[in-house]
Each structure stands twice: as C-alpha cells, then as structure tokens.
Amino acid sequence: MEMLKPLHVLHDSLNKPVLVSMKGGKEYRGVLDGYDQHMNLVLKNAEEIINSEPKGVYNVVIVRGDNVIYISPP
C-alpha cells in the first residue's frame, strides 16, 4: 500500500491549502482542487511566489507535473 502513498497523500489534500515548489524557483500556495497520475495539479486561489516575493494571485492554475519539485500539504 505504501506503493500508492504519494497519490494517496495528494488525494487527502484535496480542498486543503498546499505549497507547490517548482523548478526554476517559483512557488504556488493555493487550495488543491485536483490532480492526476503525472502530478499535474489544479490549484484555486493560487498565490505565485518568485524568490520569496508574492507576484500575483490566480483564481485557477493548472500546473504541469513535469515542473513540480515537491508538494507540501498543511
């Protein structure tokens, strides 16, 4: 069962705030609204943070999993 753990933890994070760290130094803080097996993510009310500075807020962002380094649930 631990073999499915990464997606299970994503599942348990649905509708909760998460921090997503991306390649290239970007971060997003938002509510996890969906995901798929590639770790493509849908975030709601997502704040974009570049080098620790807030850059803007998006109602909805579809993040390509390819660029994700880690996801931290609350």
Interface positions with its own copies (CB under 8 A): 2-11, 14, 22-24, 26, 33-37, 39-42, 58-74
Which residues, in sequence order, are CB contacts of 26 under 8 Å at separation 6+?
48, 49, 50
User: Residue 1 Cβ, how far from its own copies at the closest point, in Å?
Assistant: 8
Closest CA to 70 of 37, 36, 23: 23
User: Residue 16 Cβ, how far from its own copies at the closest point, in Å?
Assistant: 11
| Closest to its own copies by CB, 7 or 54 | 7
Rounded Cα distance between 34 and 42, Å, is 5
User: Residue 17 Cβ, how far from its own copies at the closest point, in Å?
Assistant: 12
